[in-house]
Homo-oligomer: A and B are copies of this chain.
Amino acid sequence: MRKVILYIAMSLDGFIADEFGGVDWLVGQEDTSEEQGSYARFIKTVDTVIMGYTTYHQVTTELAPGNWPYKGLRTYVLTHKYKKTEEDIIFTDKNIQELVTKIRMEPGKNIWICGGANLVNQFMKEDLIDRYHITVIPTILGKGIPLFHDNNSSIRLKLISSESYNGMIDLIYERRE
């Protein structure tokens, strides 16, 4: 079955962005232009991206304006604002449970929950994430936007694999039954 995967980077103290939303610290411990293989491998396993509107807005206006980085994938942007579908970008206000059920009924690859933190925590609360793929950045950020919010229930995980490159470490977990 198509898995719902949270693939996201956080600092050791659990932040996904600094207090101003900045992500320029999302780097390894040494300056290198070497392509890290983790993202390249991951992206081949998904064909669908789900993100919140704030993330969409940041990508299109700040991180990669005019150069949509998820070409070839179908992207769902969750928002209550009505926006017309653009190519493979679908704006929807469906609730996430229904959206995931609908996507899962169609054949395809895995589904990437891309962020931000509000969206991620809605998915966690509804226990919709099959796999947590967290890249831990070698930085204690001190303050910023936390990945995890207070949730009512704890989630027991199973470590599937770990891999480090340039001081970053990818931790992959699935739910423990």
Q: Which of A54-62, A83-91, A149-157 contacts B (4 or more CB under 8 A)?
A: A149-157
The contact of A169 among B13, B142, B171, by CB within 8 Å, is B171
Q: Are A155 and B173 in contact (CB under 8 A)?
A: no
Which residue of B is nearest A11, CB measured?
B154
A23 adjacent to chain B (CB < 8 Å): no
Q: A156 to chain B: closest CB distance in Å?
A: 5
Q: Are A139 and B154 in contact (CB under 8 A)?
A: yes
Knowing A169-B171, A176-B138 touch, does A164 contact B154 (C-beta < 8 A)? no
A103 adjacent to chain B (CB < 8 Å): no
Which residues of A, 84-143, contact B by the 8 Å Cβ criterion? 124, 132, 134, 136, 138-143
Q: Are A14 and B148 in contact (CB under 8 A)?
A: yes
Q: Enumerate chain B residues within 8 angstroms of A63, measured Cβ to Cβ.
A: none
Tell me the complex Cα distance, A111–B171, Å: 28
Q: A31 to chain B: closest CB distance in Å?
A: 12
Q: A136 to chain B: closest CB distance in Å?
A: 7
Q: Enumerate chain B residues within 8 angstroms of A155, measured Cβ to Cβ.
A: 139-140, 142
Q: Are B142 and A150 in contact (CB under 8 A)?
A: yes
A43 adjacent to chain B (CB < 8 Å): no
Which residue of B is nearest A143, CB measured?
B150
Q: A32 to chain B: closest CB distance in Å?
A: 14
The 4 closest A-B pairs by CB, nearest first: A13-B148, A142-B151, A140-B155, A138-B157
